[in-house]
Amino acid sequence: MDINLMMSIFPNLLNGAVITLKLLVVSMFFGLIIGLIFAILRVNKNPIFNKFAYGYSYFFRGTPLLVQLYLIYYGLANIEFLRNSFFWVIIKEPYWCAIIAFSLNTGAYTSEILRSSFQTIKKGYIEAAQSLGVTKKITFYRIQLPIAIKQSLPAYGNEIILMLKGTSLASVITIMDLMGEARKINVLTFKPFEAFITAGIIYLFITFIIHNIVKYLEKKYRFQT
């Protein structure tokens, strides 16, 4: 192990880490919106919405993230119609392709997490709201949804960490994130251990911080039943 080399590549890797974090934050943001929409569709009684949301989450949870990324990055560019449309501005950029793939993927997992916490809400709350004459819509948005979000915090924390690890796949479609920088250094210096172990330390550090933030939020917003 060459400590000097590890120190000298550290700034390059940090630049990559900034891109990793950008990818993570943007795709978690879109993923949360997608997840919320699909969770609401999932608990909807209409079978069409219901089945559609189920199919969506089944597909994105049943296939590897790499397949989804390749499908969007290489596959969509194959469609003539998309290439001539305004969408081409977005899907020709690897960065946006990665964001689309990651958002759709984490959206599927988020919808599943939210759905399961919807189902664990005690019936009594809904019945109490009904007996007080609260409309169904308000019960859903003001009672069920906030409780579900609070209850799903621990699982969502795991999802953030899984997604952080998932963003490393962006490196295979030429994005220079933390993983991409580590790969470049490995190719240039032929020192795989130094390059990947330093990158691993940075990943672990980010994981550690996310873990602690989620733990703090969990404590603060814990829902007492």
Partner 1 sequence: MELLSFGDTGWGDELFFATLMTIAVSVAAMAIGFVFALIFTPLKLSKNKTLNIIGNFYTTIIRGVPELLVIYLLFFGGTGAAMYVASIFGYDGYIEINAFITGALAIGIISGAYSTEVFRGAILSIDKGQFEASKVLGIKKSIQFYKIILPQMLRLSIPNLSNVWQIALKDTSLISVTGLVEIMRQSYIAAGSTRDPLFFYSVAAVLYLILTYLSMKLINKLEIKYNKGY
State the residues that interact with partner 1 by CB under 8 A: 58-59, 62-68, 70-71, 74-79, 161, 164-169, 171-172, 179, 182-183, 186, 192-193, 196-197, 199-200, 203-204, 207-208
Minimal distance, residue 33 CB to partner 1, in Å: 24
Dist. CA 103–CA 26, nearest whole Å: 8
The smaller minimum CB distance to partner 1, of residues 25 and 197, is found at: 197
Minimal distance, residue 183 CB to partner 1, in Å: 7
Dist. CA 16–CA 179, nearest whole Å: 7
The smaller minimum CB distance to partner 1, of residues 68 and 110, is found at: 68
Minimal distance, residue 201 CB to partner 1, in Å: 9
Q: Which long-range contacts (CB under 8 A, 24 or more apart) does 139-144 make?
A: 144/118
Strands (E), the chain: none
The smaller minimum CB distance to partner 1, of residues 18 and 197, is found at: 197
The smaller minimum CB distance to partner 1, of residues 71 and 126, is found at: 71
